[in-house]
Structure 1
Amino acid sequence: MSRPRPVTDGRERPVNLAVLMRDGFKALNDRVLVRLAEEGHAAVRPAHSAVFEFLDEDGTTVSTLAERAQMTKQGMAELVRHLEDHGYVAREPDPDDRRAKLVLLTPAGREVVGIAQALVPELEAQVAALVGAERMRALHDDLARIAQLGATDP
């Protein structure tokens, strides 16, 4: 079994705000993946959230998905291929660009999105139970403000 944290200069790397935010996301996302597996969608893995999260209801090209997810086109294409092989997405010609293909959710893909979205209130209630309703509201507001850092200059 691997260590929970990487080692640099003989010591575990320190935990900082970004690490804590990622670990919090991972804890919540893991609960979604467990529920998906319970509902028969064990082929969906953590990396696939990059597809589901950035896919428009009327379809999205792999290039656009990659750009939105801040990853390579090749990496995104591999994620899409896996989901396509398991029946969660399909590729169809883009009516606006004959050379491009749109990635679209299949009924199984829409079911995955529905399960994940239905779980959100339950997850938020679990967090509120841990930290209290007032701190939950503050956490929500603070994270929304932190997210704005990416859209502005330092």
Structure 2
Amino acid sequence: MPSDPPGFELPLRLFLGFRVLIDGVHAELARQGHPDLRPMHGFVFQAIGPEGTTAAELGRRLGISKQAAGKTIDSLEQLGYVERGSDPRDARRKVIRLTQRGVDSLVRSARIFDDLRARWAEALGEERLRALETDLRKVTPSEVFRLDIPGWFGGY
């Protein structure tokens, strides 16, 4: 009878599964015209949200410094994914918003994630994949979108 794998293997396998999916999304995004996007950018786009946000708030949401958020904004602005503008309610406040290119990358990534999930369902079987997803919901917090992962990993 085989022995149980060591406890440290579970988080590594979960992380490897995450990595396989994220690498797959980014490889396909690159093929579809978004070669400059990096895994953390998806967290940034989600933290910016549909209404936009400030650099300070972006930093808080991501768990990184305002300076790191500012550098990220500068980079994404140069790539055409975000733009800075004035807040209509307070002209002193600069709001970062996604451009059409940023929104396009999110729409494409959602479709690609669906395609990758379908491939996993084909490889594992739909019932087993659904059981895995159900089991992961039992042992993880209900809040799916933890945007502070960049800060948790040590920022960038």
Distance 1:47 1:77 in 2: 14
Contact 2:21/2:113 (8 A) holds in 1:
no
Report what 1:46 is aligned to.
39
Report what 2:104 is aligned to.
111
Report what 1:142 is aligned to.
135
Q: 2:25 aligns with which of 29, 32, 37?
A: 32
Q: Which moved more, 1:29-38 or 1:136-145?
A: 136-145
- The question of 1:102 aligning with 2:95 is answered yes
- The question of 1:128 aligning with 2:121 is answered yes
Aligned-residue identity in percent: 34
Distance 2:100 2:143 in 1: 34
Flag the 1:149–1:121 CA change in 2: closer, same or farther, 3 A.
closer
Q: State the one-letter code of the partner of 1:128.
A: A
Q: State the one-letter code of the partner of 1:89.
A: V
Contact 1:47/1:79 (8 A) holds in 2:
no
Report what 2:48 is aligned to.
55
Q: Which moved more, 1:82-91 or 1:123-132?
A: 123-132
Distance 1:125 1:138 in 2: 14
Q: Tell me the TM-score normalised to structure 1 length.
A: 0.77
Cα RMSD, aligned residues only: 2.3
- Structure 1 runs of 4+ with >4 Å offset: none
Q: CA deviation at 1:30?
A: 0.8
- The question of 1:67 aligning with 2:60 is answered yes
Q: Structure 2 unaligned runs (5+)?
A: 1-6, 145-156
Q: Structure 1 unaligned runs (5+)?
A: 1-13
Q: CA deviation at 1:78?
A: 1.7
Report what 2:86 is aligned to.
93
Distance 2:25 2:52 in 1: 23
Report how many residues are paired.
138
Q: State the one-letter code of the partner of 2:102.
A: G
- The question of 1:77 aligning with 2:70 is answered yes
Report what 1:5 is aligned to.
none
